[in-house]
Amino acid sequence: MSPAEQAEKFGAELAIVLGSGLGSFVDRMDIAFDVPYGGNSGLPVSSVPGHAGRLVFGTLGGVRIAAAQGRVHLYEGRSAADVTTGVRWLAAAGVKRLILTNAAGSLNPHFPPGQWMMLSDHLNLTGTSPLLGGPNFIDMTRVYCPEWRSRFLDLAGQRGLPLHEGVYAGLLGPQYETPAEVRMIRSLGADAVGMSTVLEAIQARALGLQVAAFSCLTNWGAGLSPDLLSHAEVMETGHSSAAALAALLEDAITAS
Ligand code: HPA
């Protein structure tokens, strides 16, 4: 059986994409099997440290899910189509609901690093789209499902987990922003900035999936604190904040 056939047979209805430092979410799952990226899977391999490349299939509280450890990014020199191959692959395998996670810089003084922001909306500042090539004029009014968001907010309240809501700006990268760019992006209405998620969300909506997304705020945007930015800091904050969101996601998945 090919990996795609195996995935379809397993019948995961929900998938979660784990961003930088967040891969340990799979420790909460009863793992059935995994599909390494590359080889005969048809899934592109990431070159970023901290982005192990595999799709893990298993159950969480009895619910069948798929968790993507690692993703490819535009800044690796990949196309918008490559970046969203995993979303199309999962949809073809029967996934109907998608949770995207990422690491992001905070632009909002009320959203300190170490806390989580749920995306209410996004700014696609990558300059590209996975839908290029066709007259795919999809509606983008409610990318991040309002009903799902209110359920996550309720559950976070019950858990006492600070969960902010805000606008994520997705940029090309791979360099972090300059302070001038951070001022510009803030003035455009963004609360957080990162280098992923927006293209996957667009692709998922084009396929009719229900989408939610969460940013682990790993640092202040450049120039908003005296500190310089480093990938090591992003990974470290991701690791130490992962457990709080993982518990919330587990509640949300098992209650659904
Ligand atoms: N900018 C862009 N991407 C990021 C950041 C940031 O400050 N932190 C984590 N990913």
Q: Render pLDDT for 159-182 as a digit per residue (tens, 0 to 9).
A: 888 999 999 999 999 999 999 999
Q: What is the pLDDT of residue 47?
A: 79
Low-confidence winner among 131-135, 140-144, 220-224, 241-245 (lowest mean pLDDT)? 241-245
Radius of gyration of the chain (CA): 17
Instruction: Give 160's contacts (C-beta < 8 A, 6+ positions apart).
Output: none
| Phi, psi values for residue 226, rounded to 5° | -70, -10
Q: Tens digit of pLDDT for each residue in 13-35?
A: 999 999 877 878 899 899 999 99
Residue nearest to atom 3 of ligand 1 (CA): 194
What mean pLDDT, rounded, does the chain reach?
Answer: 92
By annotation, the residues acting in catalysis are: 20, 51, 73, 75-76, 103, 195-196, 219, 231
Q: Which atom of ligand 1 is nearest to the CA of 195?
A: 3
HEC string of 6-21 equals: HHHHHCCCEEEEECCC
CA of 4 to the centre of ligand 1 (A): 32
How many whole angstroms separate alpha carbon 8 and alpha carbon 120?
30
How many whole angstroms separate alpha carbon 191 and alpha carbon 118?
11
Q: What is the pLDDT of residue 187?
A: 98
Q: What is the pLDDT of residue 49?
A: 64
Burial class (CB in 10 A: 0-12, 13-18, 19+), 87: buried
Q: Tens digit of pLDDT for each residue in 187-242?
A: 999 999 999 999 999 999 999 999 999 999 999 999 998 888 888 888 888 787 78
Q: What is the pLDDT of residue 50?
A: 54
Residue nearest to atom 9 of ligand 1 (CA): 104
Q: Tens digit of pLDDT for each residue in 55-81?
A: 999 999 889 999 999 899 999 999 999
- The verdict on the CB of residue 104 being under 6 Å from ligand 1 is yes
Number of other residues whose CB lies within 10 A of the CB of residue 140: 13
- The verdict on the CB of residue 103 being under 6 Å from ligand 1 is yes
Nearest one of 122, 117, 111 to 221, comparing CA atoms: 111
Angle between helices 3-10 and 85-92 (to 10 degrees): 50
Predicted confidence (pLDDT) at residue 51 exceeds the cutoff of 60: no
Q: Tens digit of pLDDT for each residue in 83-124?
A: 999 999 999 999 999 999 999 999 999 999 999 999 999 999
Predicted confidence (pLDDT) at residue 134 exceeds the cutoff of 90: no
Instruction: Give 109's contacts (C-beta < 8 A, 6+ positions apart).
Output: 224
- The verdict on the CB of residue 170 being under 6 Å from ligand 1 is no
Distance from first CA to last CA of the chain, Å, rounded?
30
Residue 205 CA from chain centroid, whole number? 14
